[in-house]
Amino acid sequence: MADWVYLSLWVEGFSAETMLAAWAKALAEFPLSTLSPGIRELAVYPFEWGEPPVLEQSFQEGARVEEAVPLAAEFLHEDYAYEAELNWDVWVPREPGSLDQWERVTQTISVACLGPQFEPEGTEDHPHLLVSLGLDSIFLPEQTENEDEKELLEEALEGVAGNCYRENISQLLGYLQQLEKILPLTRRLLWSASGEDLAERIRSAYGQ
């Protein structure tokens, strides 16, 4: 089964005073969709994710970072989280279960900034910035224990499927490299909802 993928980031000197500036940089560097650019949704959550948002705003034409972040800044609190939804273009199989034909489509992701006291019971290790990237199926084929299926997957990864997966991965790595240049990151983690280290799975799948 496909699993949800996250990129967790920790920033040196992260505080209520600096967090929205770090978030704005993470938003500005994201590789936006050419067909559907800009921030599409903005929400501010108090205390924990289960609380109703104190701000929800949609931008049909897509908002610039300079427009969206000041709206969120009106609700600046160390125990709030700030989430923006954006789109990017990725390669996906044209038909579910088939790796022969691919198409480039627009998918929605989110970039969230978690205040230092947001969800206080989990503040010891929760990230400062959290990027929700969608399903891991845009980076890797589903794992299988069947030897025949494994052989077919290996062949697919040497052809068009492998090129499409690698282009999606390259887009993500390019984003991370840009973040490393503009933010003082102390830690980063690419992981899936099942708890797996996705970076390790990618290295294993592509022999890196």
By residue range, what is the domain housing residue 130? 4-205
- The pLDDT value recorded for residue 81 is 98
Give the residue carrying structure tokens 């997966």. 165
Of 16, 31, 50, the C-alpha closest to 179 is: 31
Predicted confidence (pLDDT) per residue in 60-96, tens digit: 999 999 999 999 999 999 999 999 999 999 999 888 7
Number of domains in the chain: 1
pLDDT of residue 200: 82
Q: Quick one: pLDDT at residue 143?
A: 61
Q: Which residues of the chain have pLDDT under 70?
A: 1, 122-124, 142-158, 205-208
State the pTM of this model: 0.90
With CA atoms as reference, report the closest residue to 76 among 55, 60, 91.
55
Q: How many CB atoms lie within 10 A of CB 160?
A: 15
